[in-house]
């Protein structure tokens, strides 16, 4: 029971860490603007890049890498080193990532608004298992070179999570949770603001293309 108490404590800590509204703070401090009122209102990398440029995007990427990826990993490493939690259990790391993603997507500091968490998820997975996940870096590269929409590829890139942990019931359950968080944020991250009456089509486009329309100009 004591170990489960520590898991609950770590989960709460990681949710708070994930809730830190990095995108909002960076835009507010440097530009003096509210990122929730810009573009699609999402405080993630894509919206900040589209509305505030590459410099702030890089700053957000570095900030999230340090705060929402490396710090939780260090906490888990320290906890396992001191035998507070069992070492070498990947499902514990996945659990930490899940709690960070929930905080990032529904931040307690910004009225439960937040980013979609794709960058945080894949970066965390690359640190967990570089040999299995380093290939996701090729997604934006191929998208630019071949003018392929990266959103469907990113969606398919979640499938290996289930393949890698198929035989580990704990890791598999958490992997399903990770995918669920990404899908929920992709589909319901903003209100439907479109002239079409077919809201089901809009939700399908969000799921497949991460936007309200299937069309995109390069």
- 3-class DSSP assignment, residue 155: helix
What average pLDDT does the segment 145-152 reach?
86
Residue 216 is assigned to a structural domain of this protein: no
Residue 202 is assigned to a structural domain of this protein: yes
What average pLDDT does the segment 164-181 reach?
95
| C-alpha span between 33 and 31 (Å, rounded) | 5
Closest C-alpha among 210, 193, 32, 44 to residue 114: 44
Residue 201 is assigned to a structural domain of this protein: yes
Helix axes 71-81 and 118-128, enclosed angle (nearest 10): 40
Global pTM value: 0.90
Range of the domain at 157: 2-209
Number of structural domains found in the chain: 1
- Cβ neighbours, 10 Å, residue 60: 25
Give the percent of the chain with pLDDT over 70: 93
The per-residue pLDDT for range 109-128, each reduced to its tens digit, is: 988 889 999 999 999 999 99
Task: Identify whether the C-beta of residue 68 lies closer than 8 Å to the C-beta of residue 18.
Answer: yes
Residue 215 is assigned to a structural domain of this protein: no
Task: Identify whether the C-beta of residue 131 lies closer than 8 Å to the C-beta of residue 42.
Answer: no
Residue 214 is assigned to a structural domain of this protein: no
């Amino acid at each position: 029971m004591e170990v489960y108490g520590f898991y609950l404590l770590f989960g709460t800590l990681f949710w708070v860490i994930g809730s830190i509204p990095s995108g909002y703070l960076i835009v507010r401090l440097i530009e003096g603007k509210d990122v929730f009122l810009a573009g699609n209102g999402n405080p993630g990398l894509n919206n900040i890049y589209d509305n505030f440029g590459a410099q702030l995007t890089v700053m957000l990427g570095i900030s999230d890498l340090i705060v929402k990826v490396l710090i939780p990993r260090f906490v888990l490493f320290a906890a396992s080193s001191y035998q507070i939690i069992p070492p070498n259990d990947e499902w514990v790391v996945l659990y930490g990532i899940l709690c960070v993603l929930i905080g990032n997507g529904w931040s307690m500091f910004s009225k439960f608004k937040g980013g979609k968490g794709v960058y945080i998820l894949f970066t965390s997975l690359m640190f967990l298992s570089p040999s299995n996940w380093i290939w996701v870096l090729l997604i934006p590269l191929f998208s630019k070179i071949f003018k392929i929409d990266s959103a469907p590829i990113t969606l398919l890139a979640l499938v290996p999570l289930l393949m890698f942990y198929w035989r580990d019931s704990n890791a598999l359950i958490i992997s399903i949770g990770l995918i669920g968080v990404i899908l929920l944020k992709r589909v319901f991250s903003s209100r439907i603001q479109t002239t079409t009456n077919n809201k089901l089509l809009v939700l399908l486009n969000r799921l497949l293309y991460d936007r309200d329309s299937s069309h995109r100009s390069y």
